Amino acid sequence: MVHEVVHYLRCARGGLFVDGTLGTGGHTLAILQHSPATTRVIGIDRDPEGLAVARERLAPFSHQLQTVQGKFGDLKIILSGLGVRAVDGILLDLGFSSLQIESPGRGFSFQRDDPLDMRMDQTQGISARDWLAHCSQKELIGILKEYGEERWAKRLTGKILAFQSKGPVETTRELAELIAGSIPRGGRIHPATRTFQALRILINDELTQLKSFLGEFLETLKDGGRVCLISYHSLEDRLIKQAFLRLERGLRDPLGMSEPVRPEGQPGFKRLISKPTVPSQIEMQENPRSRGAKLRVGERVGGPL
């Protein structure tokens, strides 16, 4: 939804933008192409391989681009470290990139036979293979239910742990075939889709990052600054929807941990669209991975920083 992002961020007006999920730079390229030459973008991504590709792709705009290896959940800290107080617009595209899916050895796709890794930054954290090798029955059932919304969580857990009694699940294909042989196939999606989603969310701590961002992003926007958030599954979209509604109602805590109303004079928030924008049929045909994407947009209004 590149055109929608360019529109809602009002790129034609220029300013300072943050692409918190830079990936290979597709959205940032569009932002810079549709903005005045004075526009600057801070591109953040935790994946060093993706950052390298983005820097090369965006080389003609290098004087307008600053890249940072980091997590968008740390946006406030990152901006402070750069000496930036507030920005005109923020974009998050919460899907994983084509580079991550297609690069050998990353372990994101069950359509490849790769080591079962799934880390966005392979220099940090624990791989999916190692987590599965040491998790308990209770932990695995809980993760599959909470992050994968998998109805067959108990059955899959039993099958996976039984398999691992002889040795760890080593590859994406091994895990995908194990799942496909354990539960009924129904609908358009592959039986392994929900399990791979659950493991990816866990390994990369994705929902914690999103919650951290939602709790602080308003403080990093200028008055009139906008935020565009693209999600791909119900867990993310639900968090974003609830946070936007609470902020719009004047509740200080967008995550619902407490209920005090926003003090008078503090920054407010309004949703610019009441329902999420979804990709057009043409876009979904051209890019099947965009299927399921939802864009929500909001704006900071009133009150000093």
Q: Please report, rounded to a whole number, the percentage of residues in the chain having pLDDT higher than 70.
A: 95
Integer angstrom CA distances of residue 54 from 108, 135, 167, 285: 20, 36, 38, 25
Residue 91's closest CA among 229, 297, 199, 200? 229
CATH number of 105-204: 1.10.150.170
User: Which residue matches tokens 């399921």?
Assistant: 292
Single-letter code of the amino acid located at 83: G
- 253 CB contacts (<8 Å, ≥6 apart)? 215, 246, 259, 260
Q: Are strands 294-301 and 221-231 parallel, antiparallel or unpaired?
A: antiparallel
Residue 19's closest CA among 91, 77, 79? 91
Tokens for 43?
Answer: 């591109």
Contact 44, 66 (CB under 8 A): no
Q: What is the pTM of this model?
A: 0.92
Domain extents for the chain?
2-99+206-301, 105-204
Rounded Cα gap, residues 97 and 100, in angstroms? 5
Rounded Cα gap, residues 45 and 60, in angstroms? 20
3-state secondary structure of 58: coil
Rounded Cα gap, residues 274 and 271, in angstroms? 6
* Model confidence pLDDT, tens digit, residues 28-70: 999 999 999 999 999 999 999 999 999 999 999 999 999 999 9
CATH number of 2-99+206-301: 3.40.50.150
Phi, psi angles (nearest 5°) of residue 60: -65, -15
Q: Where are the beta strands (DSSP E) in 117-238?
A: 221-231
Q: Are strands 65-69 and 268-271 parallel, antiparallel or unpaired?
A: unpaired
Rounded Cα gap, residues 169 and 173, in angstroms? 9
Contact 245, 239 (CB under 8 A): no
DSSP assigned state of 182: T
Instruction: Answer positive or negative: Cα dihedral of 35, 96, 277, 223.
Output: negative
What local confidence, expressed as pLDDT, does residue 287 receive? 76
Which residues in the chain come in under a pLDDT of 70?
A: 252, 256-267, 303-305
List % helix, strand, coil for the chain (3-state, nearest 5).
45, 15, 40
Instruction: Please state whether 187 falls in left (phi above 0), alpha (psi between -120 and 50) or beta.
Output: left
